[in-house]
């Protein structure tokens, strides 16, 4: 039986800065599923078609699809890609009418019945972590024993939508095989322009789950229970990347890489012992680091740490249940700089209750912190989050139905604010980037950090990408 896992075509709107500077990284979710299926299901062949890696639109996707003969297709679904997934499923069914289409991912875990009912082409939806459930589903289909015994799925039967029961079981990360990176061309991927030091680079994840309850985040797949891969297994995966794939840099995609400080310190010790020729970066919370840990991270090859600061207004931080303060952010950035690493900060504009003044405070606070890299997003209220439910119940959503999904691109105003119009919020978004990156102090500091030709090249590449985006934005 042949299984094809698909990352569907998707392109950002041109006024989103990521449309010019964004990363193209391996689809770890699909790679983990592929690896687990290969290990458990011996009679099943798995392939991956990553539209992002090959920059495929739907026409290009249809051409590439003809090279496969799948019996079952799995498609990953995020809220922003939902409309594209429906089109992808339609193309698959046109080419392979008898193929079974299975969807999974963050959006499916929040809205499984909707995903099934929205398209005659989608047959089954998988809820939650996909490795074990998808493998059980494939085995049931292969043995022709029926799928009603597979937990946490939604499917169609006799014109009705059926949802099977099953307690959400968290997966021990040490029991999972390494992602099946041999199924993709690793040389097609790269982090965001200007954010890496060395290529080729790869992404990894060493933990799942987040115990924090920020109102704009969803725990639909991995839940609130934090689980971590052992430092020994993480070290093995790093060695595989370096030795088998020639990787020279790793981006850790964990939401909170340093939540388990002991684990992080142990991993740093292993990296120091192995003396591998590679660099790495990560993201975490501003209240989950300290100078000794940062110094150890830097010595073991970490060159940059990113922090989700979100807002420069204490009241907004309290409203979104961020559980951190501006004082925490200042200390984290200062300590990271003192440890000799690049600093990165991520902010969100347009939360419910925002005013012109709170948005201006966020922009001014970002300039005060003066990190090496900054990302501003406009809040996208995602289904399954507390923020979405509150905005919906209070009549604050600017869009309804599927249009909410299509607009969830991080650069489109989606929430009604009391004294900020959607047009004004877009102006704040655009001007924040201009004020930050096109200022003498920032440019001088970045040029002063250049120590090699590779540093110069990555700085120029990032600068040109930003300027290309800046030329195409409009100020309404």
DSSP state of 278: -
Domains (range + CATH), the chain: 2-163 (3.40.50.280), 190-472 (3.80.30.20)
Longest dimension (CA), the chain: 67
Output the pLDDT for position 296: 98
Sites in the chain below the pLDDT cut of 50: 475-476
Quote the pTM value.
0.93
Contact 297, 283 (CB under 8 A): no
Supply the pLDDT for residue 323. 93
- The per-residue pLDDT for 436 is 93
Provide CB contacts within 8 A for 474, sequence distance 6+.
15
Burial of residue 232, with CB atoms counted within 10 A of its CB: 0-12 exposed, 13-18 middle, 19 or more buried: exposed
CA gap 85, 352 in Å, rounded: 29
* pLDDT value, residue 465: 64
How is residue 171 annotated by DSSP? P
At residue 476, the 3 state secondary structure works out as coil
Q: What's residue 220's pLDDT?
A: 61
Tell me the C-alpha distance between 416 and 399, whole Å.
10
315 vs 320: CA distance, rounded Å: 9
Whether residue 425 contacts residue 392, with contact meaning beta carbons closer than 8 Å, is answered with: no
In angstroms, the CA 471 to CA 463 distance is 12
Instruction: Kindly report the length of the chain.
Output: 476
What pLDDT shows up at residue 476?
47
Say whether 95 sits in a helix, a strand or coil.
helix
pLDDT at 168: 63
Tell me: the pLDDT tens digits for 107-151?
999 999 999 999 999 999 999 999 999 999 999 999 999 899 999
The pLDDT tens digits of the residues spanning 36-72 come to 999 999 889 999 999 999 999 999 999 999 999 999 9
Helix (H/G/I), strand (E/B), else coil: 314: helix
Q: Which helix (H) or strand (E) holds 338?
A: helix 326-338
Nearest alpha-carbon partner for 359 in 319, 316, 330: 316
- pLDDT confidence of residue 125: 97
Report the distance separating Cα 174 and Cα 158, nearest Å: 40
Looking up tokens 């082409």 gives: 121
DSSP string for 379-434: ----TTSHHHHHHHHTT-BS--THHHHHH-SSSS--B--SS--HHHHHHHHHHHHH
| Owner of token pair 């950002």 | 12
So what's the pLDDT on residue 445?
A: 80
């Amino acid at each position: 039986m042949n299984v094809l896992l698909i990352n569907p075509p998707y392109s950002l709107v041109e006024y989103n800065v990521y449309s010019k500077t964004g990363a193209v990284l391996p689809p770890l979710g699909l790679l983990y599923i592929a690896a687990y299926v290969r290990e458990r299901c011996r009679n099943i062949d798995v392939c991956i078609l990553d539209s992002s890696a090959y920059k495929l639109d739907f026409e290009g996707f249809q051409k590439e699809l003809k090279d496969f003969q799948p019996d079952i297709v799995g498609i990953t679904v995020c809220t922003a890609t939902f409309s594209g997934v429906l089109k992808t499923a339609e193309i698959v069914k046109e080419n392979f009418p008898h193929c079974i289409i299975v969807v999974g991912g963050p959006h499916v875990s929040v809205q499984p019945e909707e995903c099934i009912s929205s398209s005659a082409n989608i047959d089954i939806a998988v809820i939650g972590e996909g490795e074990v459930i998808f493998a059980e589903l494939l085995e049931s289909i292969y043995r022709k024993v029926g799928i009603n015994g597979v937990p946490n799925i939604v499917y169609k039967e006799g014109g009705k939508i059926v949802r099977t029961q099953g307690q959400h079981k968290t997966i021990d990360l040490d029991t999972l095989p390494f992602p099946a990176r041999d199924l993709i061309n690793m040389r097609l991927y790269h982090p965001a322009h200007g954010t890496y030091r060395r290529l080729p680079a790869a992404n990894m994840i060493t933990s799942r789950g987040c115990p924090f309850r920020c109102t704009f985040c969803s725990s639909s797949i991995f839940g609130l229970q934090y689980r971590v891969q052992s430092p020994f297994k993480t070290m093995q995966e790093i060695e595989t990347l370096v030795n088998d794939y020639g990787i020279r840099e790793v981006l850790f995609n964990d939401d909170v890489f340093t939540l388990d400080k002991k684990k992080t310190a142990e991993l740093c010790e292993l990296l120091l012992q192995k003396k591998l020729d590679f660099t790495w970066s990560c993201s975490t919370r501003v209240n989950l680091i300290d100078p000794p840990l940062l110094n150890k991270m830097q010595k073991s090859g970490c060159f940059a740490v990113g922090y989700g600061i979100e807002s420069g207004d204490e009241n907004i931080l309290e409203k979104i249940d961020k559980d951190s303060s501006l004082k925490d952010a200042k200390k984290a950035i200062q300590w990271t700089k003192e440890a000799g690493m690049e600093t990165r900060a991520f902010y969100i504009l347009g939360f419910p209750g925002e005013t012109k003044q709170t948005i201006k405070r966020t922009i001014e606070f970002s300039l005060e912190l003066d990190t090496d890299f900054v990302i501003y997003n406009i809040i996208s209220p995602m289904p399954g989050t507390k923020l979405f439910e509150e905005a919906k119940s209070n009549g604050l959503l600017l869009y309804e139905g599927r249009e909410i999904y299509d607009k969830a691109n991080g650069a489109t105003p989606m929430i009604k604010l009391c004294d900020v119009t959607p047009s004004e919020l877009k102006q704040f978004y655009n001007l924040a980037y201009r004020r930050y990156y096109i200022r003498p102090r920032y440019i001088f500091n970045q040029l002063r950090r250049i120590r090699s030709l590779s540093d110069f090249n990555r700085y120029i590449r990032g600068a040109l990408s930003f300027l290309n985006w800046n030329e195409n934005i409009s100020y309404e």
